Structure 1
Amino acid sequence: MRTSTLLGILASWAAIATQSPPAEARLSSSASESFLSTRYDLVNPSSIHPDLTPQYTAKHSTQLPHRLKSPRINRRSNSNTTTTTITNITSSFQLQFTCRNSASCSYAQTTFIHATQRLSQILSLPAQVIISATFESFCIANAADCGSSTLGLAAPASFHTWSAVAGNALGVDTAYSYPSALAKQLAPNDTAWGPNGTVGSSVVDIFARFNADFPWWFTTQSSSPPAATNHAPYDFEQIVLHELYHGLGFISSWYPWTGPGLLLPSYPVTDPNTGNYVGLGAPYIFNKWMVDDVASTWYYTYSDQILAAASTVNAPDYASWVDGFKNTSGFQIAASLFNNVTTTNGRTLLMYPLSQGGPADSDTSPYYSDYGFVMLYTPSNFSTGSSISHVDATFYDGSSEFLMRPFATSYTALDDYVPMAETGPIGEITIAVLRALGYKTILDVI
């Protein structure tokens, strides 16, 4: 990890971030060729995993956190209380903000804007990222969620894979799928984005949803959060910033897609011509940097073996494909990996290069070069929406890398968390992860 101070660089980086990308970073001006190959749409954040999207929850305790009493609202008569505004916050971000049945709409929107401005200070984005965010009562939206401890959730709106020529032309890894926000930065003028940066019928890169049932504290209300009380206030900006990080790509596709006990690198896919299940899709780019610390093995080694085994199974329906996969070597590897991540805490790491570049095929050790690492959250009971897609909850508690822990920090303002990172509440390691994925960050100017 670099030890150079980042103080004083934010202002100059903000100026760099507003400039047009250099010619060599763009595609041809005629934009006659598309480097994007396929697109996987996610209608809403919860569809990113079968059960739960990576989410921020209230920290576990012996007593459930206090929630505001749900008002008695007639949904039909209150349908006109929904408001949606579109704000171009900077050249880097546009916010499509929807608020339903809440007296805190203006506070929430202003805080959301502040969070995206923080991201603009650490990222250089050639193309504007479009965020669709909703602030509403989860209880009113769905009675089954009245006891939910979820503070917020977010995900990329879509993932994209690349054509064969994109690897050399753009430096992307065609073995992986990229979140929309990142793919747009790497190929800002690609014909697939359509006019004015649209892709097909949608311009949204990140979907996010936040629970208005909790007693939030907004920076626009007071300069410091209320004292600790039974109401356990949470800093809304802390949760927004955390969720936007997921939307930018801080999310793994290693998940028990076919059921408990198997950890697969991606989800089963079908042949568009026959409809048969024919294997697994392209893993998320986040997976590329994962390491099994005990075995000193890159996770992509496991992924390649499982993907190869899965591709040998061709079945007319999902259940038949799952049964067929059980007879492959990939099944045994997936079962072993699930056991590893639920029995050995600290075994799964996410590496990031201290200089530009990535794992080379000829390297036998994940530590062949100057690398930093972050320990991923792997509790003994696999937690849908939390496991693998967050940093370790205990190891980073009280550190400058607290932001991507799976649990929120109550009673604490984002800027009051101690020790504070030199880059503000977004720690240098947290920034380095986005850099590893492919974003241009403030670390590139050091």
Structure 2
Amino acid sequence: MDFHDPMNFGNSTIVDCALNHDDTNLDTSIQLNDNSNLIQVTLDCQINDQKTCNKVENTFKLAGEIINYALVLNTPIIVDAVFFPMGSSNVLGGAIASRLFSITDEDNTERLYPQALVKQLRLPISVQYASSDIKARFNSLKDWYFPDDEGPIRPDQNDILNTVLHELIHGLGFFSSWKNYIDAELQIPTSGLTPLISYNSNITTELPIGSFEFMGFYETIFDKFIIINNDGKQDKLSTLANELNQFSGRNQQFNLSSFNNEFQNSPQFETAKKVLSLSTVKNSLTFMPKGTKKTKDGFVLETSLETYAAGSSIVHVDFNKYSHDSDFLMIYNSVAGVTMNELIIKSGNRTGSAIGPKLLGALSSIGYTLADNPIKSSTISISVSNTFSLIVSCQLFLYIIINH
């Protein structure tokens, strides 16, 4: 499954892994890196301001260094990045895996793996890769604070390094497939959530309005580790995906309206409604890293919003719990007026970067190899002065750690 637009998760295409055209691994097509950098970025900066374009380029380099510091990568990760006017200054940007591969897991369940991860796993299979692993788009209309800007960040500015790193982590595989696909496409109120809908159709992009063959619901590898907090039982969310895949419409022809009608009249629709309900109950869904058993060791996902919000609910971590914690990076709402490095220091600088200990556990669980870096105790806290000179010193200190 290929994704074409980071700002529209529904804009996708089902593709054959054995395509014979130019879908090759373009590890040698490099623009913003040297040979030692395993995060390789091709940047299309669509503004007439070379100074700002250089700052964007440097931001991606820093984000790549942070990922390189946290993970052991054996194959370059290719990022297709565009910096351009996105119509409104309220939009920050986004990133998404360029291609997902359906792989049968050890529990005999097919799940979708992001291309960046598949390349690191070096599976004994031969596949054709898309030309990039991650597609990233960021808004040039936003009044960004850049890491090399002089002076402190203003209260109305967002730190672009924090946003870029956040989105690249999504592209690496930190995302759930559970969403309101049908309701969003039909532009009707959200009534239930499902995993990604696989279909066979002559229409090659987005969930088709015209005729298609329904082929099943597919979770991502991230979804495998989500548990439902239900009186300490820790039921897996994947069990609900299995229930949905009992829908009798599999391998039948539908248009979107007829599919929606038949699905809503099926016993399985109660499961979709249940997941929608879970998405708005605080602490209801937790990512449990591989090897952990206690709920307190899990990564609580964002289910505290009063109504389900596509792009925020489930695919991020709980804002109230982690916005001042060392695992702040994957909250859904970027905090204005504070730099990423200030957040790192205020939360104790436990891992030497913005990729906190629970996020490291999540990346390790889905399949990445972690670098052997120390993690400080959660009881450590550091008092930070608000003077610009100390902020600059702390920024330099963190970059030195990452480059060490």
TM-score range normalised by the length of the shorter chain = 0.7 to 0.9
Code of the aligned partner of 1:99: C
C-alpha displacement of 1:85? 7.8
Counterparts of 1:444 and 1:172, CA distance in 2: 31
1:216 maps to: 144
- Please point out which of 213, 216, 225 is paired with 2:152: 225
Corresponding residue of 1:318: 256
Give the alignment of 1:402-421 within 5 angstroms. 402-417=328-343, 418-421=346-349
Which residue of structure 2 lines up, in the alignment, with residue 394 of structure 1? 320
TM-score after normalising by structure 2: 0.76
**Residues matched between the structures, number:** 338
Alignment partners' CA distance in 2, 1:91 and 1:112: 12
Displacement after TM superposition at 1:212 (Å)? 1.3
CA apart distance, 1:420: 3.2
Q: Deviations over 1:196-249 (max 9, x none)?
A: xxx2xx320000011111211111223x633x44xx122111111000000001
1:203 partner letter: S
The CA RMSD over aligned residues, in Å, is 2.8
Q: Distance in 2 between matches of 1:130 and 1:159?
A: 14
1: CA distance, partners of 2:157 / 2:315: 25
1:110 maps to: 58
Q: How does 1:224-243 map to 2 (within 5 A)?
A: 225-226=152-153, 228-229=154-155, 232-243=156-167
Superposed, which structure 2 residues align to 1:66-145 within 5 Å?
86-89=31-34, 90-103=36-49, 104-139=52-87
Equivalent residue for 1:261, pick from 178, 187, 191 = 191
Runs of 5+ unmatched residues, structure 2: 13-28, 184-189, 203-210, 376-404
Q: 1:425 aligned to 2:354? A: yes
TM-score, structure 1 normalization: 0.70
Counterpart-to-counterpart distance in 2, 1:433 and 1:215: 32
- In structure 1, the residue matched to 2:228 is 292
Counterpart in the other structure of 2:170: 246
Contact 2:158 2:336 in 1 (8 A): yes
- Contact 1:268/1:278 (CA < 8 Å) preserved in 2? yes
Give 2:97's match in structure 1, choosing from 150, 153, 156. 156
- Structure 1 residue 300, shift from structure 2 partner: 0.6
> What is the one-letter code of the residue matched to 1:217?
Y
Change (3 A) 1:330 1:268: farther
Can you give the 5+ residue segments of structure 1 that lack an aligned partner in the other structure?
1-39, 52-83, 140-145, 194-198, 356-366
Work out the CA distance in 2 between the residues paired with 1:91 and 1:399. Answer: 29
Partner secondary structure for residue 86 of structure 1: coil
Q: Aligned partners of 1:219 and 1:173: how far apart in 2?
A: 45
Could you say if the C-alpha distance between residues 391 and 173 of structure 1 is closer, same or farther in structure 2, counting changes exceeding 3 Å? farther
Give the superposition deviation at 1:280: 2.4
CA 1:221–1:189 in 2, change beyond 3 Å: closer, same or farther?
Answer: farther
Higher relative contact order, structure no. (Cα contacts within 8 Å, ≥ 6 residues apart): 1
Question: Does the 8 A contact of 2:216 with 2:250 survive in 1?
Answer: no
Q: C-alpha deviations, 1:248-297, integer Å up to 9, x for none?
A: 0111001111111111122242278xx74224242111111111102631
Query: CA contact under 8 A between 2:91 and 2:142: conserved in structure 1?
Result: no
Identity rate, percent = 25
CA shift for structure 1 position 189: 7.3
Query: Is contact 1:279-1:310 (8 Å) kept?
Result: no
Cα distance, 1:102 vs structure 2: 4.7
113-122 vs 324-333, greater mean Cα deviation: 324-333
Provide the C-alpha distance between the structure 2 equivalents of 1:269 and 1:206, rounded to a whole number of angstroms.
Answer: 23
